[in-house]
Amino acid sequence: YFSMVLQALVDHKGRFTNINVGWPGKVHDARVFRNSGLFRRLQEGIYFPDHKITVGDVYMPIVILRDSAYPLMPWLMKPYTGALDSEKELFNYRLSKCRMVVECAFGRLKGRWRSLLTRSDLSETNIPIVIAACCVLHNLCESKGETFMAGWEVEANRLAADYAQPDTRAIRRAQRDALRIRE
């Protein structure tokens, strides 16, 4: 089987405001992002309105919160890495708390549309269309306050474990072998 990357921009209410779907699952998220229309529009400064606030003497634009796999850009915030003082640890903690909205949005998407987590008989050209439709329906459900059952996410997590990326399994095996060699 094959998988596809769904890269999404999520607003503060857990709704998808921009999606990029169709890249093979083995492609690194940062590569997908750098090749997206969203990245180009952000680089050109035309995605967000020019709305800034001043904090101290720094003009703060609207930013996207990402994990450490992405580049640090004026419009793309990521956590600090390496040896951290207490201020940087606090920043990372708060950034992580804010990013939980994104994790929850993906969890709810997968919980509602568990078919996204299983093997599909659709063609590679139709799968991105189905994934995009699921994102639109997710947004409608979230906007209308539709009920979300906690058990759906539990079931989705169980299904996701059954369909781990094939190359991820290989990497884990290689890491186990490397640990043995290092020891």
Write out pLDDT tens, residues 85-130.
999 999 999 999 999 999 999 999 999 998 888 888 888 899 999 9
Low-confidence ranges of the chain (pLDDT < 50): 182-183
Beta-bridge mates of residue 23: 5
Model pLDDT, residue 75: 87
Beta-bridge mates of residue 60: 53
- The b/e string for 95-118 (b: 16+ C-beta within 10 A; e otherwise) is beeebeebeebbbbbbbbbeebbe
Enter the pTM of the model.
0.80
